[in-house]
Amino acid sequence: MFTDLSRRYSTVVRQRRTPSFRVYNDFQAIKIVRLGPWYGDKGSSSGCYSLLGLDVPESEVSVLSKSSYKLALVCPRKLVYRRERYPSSAEKDPYLDFLADGGFLVEAVARALFPDGQIIAPQEGETTAQATARLLRSENVDLFEAVFEHGGLSARVDVLSKRGGVIELIEVKAKSVNMERADGSPLRGTRGGISAEWRPYLEDVAFQVHVVRSVMGPSCTVRPKLCVVDVSKACGEAATFSALDLTPRDERAFGMPTAHYVGDVAALRQNHFLAFLDVSAEVEELLSGPDSCAAVAPSIALAILQGDRSCLKPAIGTHCRDCEYRVDGTDESGRNGFRECWGGLAAGSPHVLDLYRIDKLGGRGEGGLRGLLERGISAISDIPDRMFADGEIGQRQRRQVQATRSGRDWIGPGMGPALAAACAPFHFVDFETSRMPVPYHAGMRPYGQVAFQFSCHTVSGDGALSHREWINVDDRYPNIEFAMALRDVIGDAGTMLVWSAHERTALREIREQLLREGGGPAGLVDWLEPPTLDVEKGGRTLDLYNICRRHYVHPAMGGKTSIKAVLQAVWKGNPSLHVHPWFAAYVRGEGDSVRSPYEVLADVVTDAGIVAAVREGTGAMRAYQDMLYGRRRGDAAYKEACRRALLEYCKLDTLAMVIVWTHWMERTSGATSHVSA
Ligand code: SF4
């Protein structure tokens, strides 16, 4: 079949077992692949009956894309592990990431501002890069998703506007900027340097400019711009979500959902929320110097093409703590990326990377993590006391090491008084919120908060536990109903216990919105004020996260203070919780093998299919977006499955607080007087 060796072939095999043969076929591997006629497809207009119609392979494997280059900037070895599909903890479904980011919505609005813009549509046997080159022969043209390839580098440009010898290269991002507050350039810090916040976006653009210039040559002038979301602009009807038509993804074509602008283009041009920032100076700065992408990217591309691991070295550092290749165990081939990178220093348990704020380790002259590794120290319990700096962080690190050595949790003397500041009934509350770049309603600003769900476990003064919850399942702006439902549930008595500032901030935003709009339902503005304030400031909210940070260390928390980390440590370490009737439904396993209640959350299986269990806040936001705006938003059974997954997750978040609080109450009072069956 493959007889003409001057041609190159690609085959996409959608089969589960192919990754075990190092033939990768997930979205990341083939997202820019071009499909050719199927073997035996006699209806093909080219008359070609096989994959001979694909004369150029178009997979990430053969070129260095912008996203791969950015990954290499974090750590070049990740490119190797990603390509070879090492075991990873990274998100399994890029579709949900894509949906939650909202970039495709912003892009749809941006494209509407270029009514003559064309999406690159390759002709038979033509690559996208060749189609781009063909279209660029026109004197004036606007293109979407133009592709440029040069020297093993590949760049895809969101919007390209060519006028004679000048190309405007526009990168569209769902990143927010407040142009009203921007004093000078929002891209630069007070000392004039490129800000760390904007650098990754500007590096994106610099990479594209480098590739486009390499292809177009010196006679062409490239002017780069960033198109971002200006949150200072209130939107007219033409710039709201209702002006977008969403097309679900086609699973068989590995596609993502697309959005098309269907509103009033003239009105949109008058009043939209996009800001076009000229980034020429920043890009020139990034393209000069020995570390620029112009200097570095070609050698990375070459290493990828040649499969040369030695050029893609591990960059060991504190960032390895959260590396997706730091996983327990190995795959069936015995591979574990973290162990390969760290060698013998991967063995410490608990590992030094799990020290609280490892990035801030180091008394004077001790050299932080690097100093530890040079001494061959990889276990937390081996860190010498002199390594800890003075101050709050150093103190917490020291306590973690002591707790690790003793195998017991540490409770500070301030814990009891801090907990006693709450009064019954105790309302353990958690909110789920979402922010969309394209506002729901006229008059709203982009990224306005949408409070779509809460859970509340209440422990009454006589020690009874009850649970109530609320969730929005309709495509509407839910904030006022959310606040009214919360008022119904927690009323005027007792303390609201939370695990972050998120709930206070969310209520403050709703209250400000009500004040702007004239007050809303009777008494709601006044009711909302006390929960926005801490107990110590005369309000009715007690933040258990702050209590944890100041007064609690458990060796199994791994230096983290999230509710999940604390719950897992407390749950495994206190068997009396497993026989408590409030928590019995979440017990799986026993002793050291008891599983975290978050792991017990099961996928929701219905006639409509399977909806994955939600296990963290970002996952909740994604599930909500999927339920209302995703591929199956019109499917009632699927929506119900999403709703159930969201409710189960949020309910556990508040029960987790009850579990930790119960443990703390036992440890501080020596009794369980606040707890009854
Ligand atoms: S563990 Fe560290 S060195 Fe290894 S791939 Fe991850 S970030 Fe790179």
**Does residue 529 lie within any of the structural domains?**
yes
Nearest alpha carbon, ligand 1 atom 4:
341
Q: What is the pLDDT of residues 419-477, one digit of tens each?
A: 999 999 999 999 998 888 888 777 788 988 889 999 999 999 999 999 999 999 887 78
Q: Pick the more confident residue, 631 or 71.
A: 71
CA of 363 to the centre of ligand 1 (A): 26
Check the CA dihedral 414-420-426-427 and report its sign. Answer: negative
**Does residue 209 lie within any of the structural domains?**
yes
- Is the CB–ligand 1 distance for residue 75 below 6 Å? yes
Q: Pick the more confident residue, 35 or 664.
A: 664
140 and 270 co-located in one domain: yes
- Is the CB–ligand 1 distance for residue 320 below 6 Å? yes
Q: Are residues 391 and 360 in contact, defined by beta-carbon separation less than 8 angstroms?
A: no
Locate tokens 């963290």: which residue? 616
Q: Pick the more confident residue, 596 or 567.
A: 567
**Does residue 68 lie within any of the structural domains?**
no
CA of 656 to the centre of ligand 1 (A): 32
How many other CB atoms are there within 10 angstroms of residue 602's CB atom?
Answer: 10
Nearest alpha carbon, ligand 1 atom 2:
320
Among candidate residues 298, 328, 361, the one where a domain is terminated:
298
- Is the CB–ligand 1 distance for residue 201 below 6 Å? no
pLDDT class for 607, splitting at 50, 70, 90? low
**Does residue 675 lie within any of the structural domains?**
no
Rounded CA-CA distance 333/205 in Å is 39
105 and 249 co-located in one domain: yes
Cis preceding linkage at 575, omega within 30: no
Q: What is the CA radius of gyration of the chain?
A: 28
Name the domain count of the chain.
Answer: 5
325 and 241 co-located in one domain: no
- Is the CB–ligand 1 distance for residue 369 below 6 Å? no
User: Distance between alpha carbon 77 and the CA centroid of its chain, in Å?
Assistant: 21
CA of 73 to the centre of ligand 1 (A): 12
143 and 238 co-located in one domain: yes
Give the domain CATH number at 493.
Answer: 3.30.420
164 and 285 co-located in one domain: yes
- Is the CB–ligand 1 distance for residue 313 below 6 Å? no
CA of 331 to the centre of ligand 1 (A): 17
CA of 641 to the centre of ligand 1 (A): 37
pTM here is 0.76
SS3 assignment, position 110: helix
199 and 146 co-located in one domain: yes
Among candidate residues 298, 333, 366, the one where a domain is terminated:
298
**Does residue 79 lie within any of the structural domains?**
no
Q: Are residues 70 and 300 in contact, defined by beta-carbon separation less than 8 angstroms?
A: no
Q: What is the pLDDT of residues 484-526, one digit of tens each?
A: 999 999 999 999 999 999 999 999 999 998 998 887 888 999 9
600 and 533 co-located in one domain: no
Where are the strands (E) in 318-415, listed by range?
410-411
Among candidate residues 11, 32, 59, the one where a domain is terminated:
59
290 and 186 co-located in one domain: yes
567 and 664 co-located in one domain: yes
Q: Which domain holds residue 14?
A: 1-59
**Does residue 326 lie within any of the structural domains?**
yes
CA–CA distances in Å: residue 537 to residues 209, 529, 542, 669: 52, 12, 10, 25
**Does residue 303 lie within any of the structural domains?**
no
Smallest CA-to-CA distance from 157 within 112, 210, 116, 94 is with 210
- Is the CB–ligand 1 distance for residue 483 below 6 Å? no
**Does residue 74 lie within any of the structural domains?**
no
Q: Residue 366: pLDDT above 70?
A: no
* Residue of 323, 342, 373 with the most ligand 1 atoms within 8 Å of its CB, for mutation: 323
Check the CA dihedral 374-379-385-388 and report its sign. Answer: positive
Q: Pick the more confident residue, 28 or 223.
A: 223
